[in-house]
Copies of this chain bind each other. A is one copy, B any other.
């Protein structure tokens, strides 16, 4: 098997490991052959398929909405999370895990009661109008070209590729087909609980459990596919369980300060697990000829 279609990858051991694995599971009669029906691949989104720094794309979407709400109703500026947004209190906003109740409450106030169509319209407007704060391109162009090629490479070898994001399923769906070639029915992610009201699907308060992160990822993947991933890709600690649940695990390591960002924060456990289990680690600096298309 050749690496046709993987032009943004350098000719390194990483690319060879991927191509070799795909060759083994698609070689009919070979000892590792897997029939096409069982070829499921799952990829985390933030930091794996598109850039997640300096902030999650969806965080930018939510913060803008909170700011607009606080501008429309000054009394909100006294309460969290609106207060932190109005005062640009990055310490408060950065300590996500310390403020889960306020953040979930804020998200419920911002988007609860919206129909799925109305929520999608807000997401589409965001993607059309907002640019990445440092890269200067639309967020939909802050996609890693080598990963986009890998998704197509897998599809061309009869894998069905799913996104499996800790972030919002319905936030990614409006753009997944265009930017990744992944149809909306193959986007897995977290969501507000939905309810049918007078024929419309409406977002309610809170978050559906389990969220699609950490141990929730294999649960969501099973619910959606009825399988373990044959191949999975991630970049952070929330991906460890999904990667451990797959046959071939790919971990994207952000070590390219010149072309993207260099960080290991939030990926410490996944890098340790990769070393312990022999997962294939992608060095953005060394393995990728191009980062963004």
Contacts and interface: CB of A to CB of B under 8 A. Distances in A.
B224 A185 contact: yes
Given A201-B222, A224-B224, A196 B184 contact: no
A114 interface: no
A194 interface: yes
Interface in A224-264: 224-227, 241, 244-245
A196 B219 contact: yes
Interface residues of A, number: 31
A191 interface: yes
Contacts of A241: 196
Nearest to A217: B196
A218 B244 contact: no
Contact of A223 (B191, B216, B222, B225): B191
12 contacts: A160-B185, A173-B226, A185-B225, A191-B223, A194-B219, A194-B223, A195-B215, A196-B216, A196-B219, A199-B244, A201-B219, A224-B224
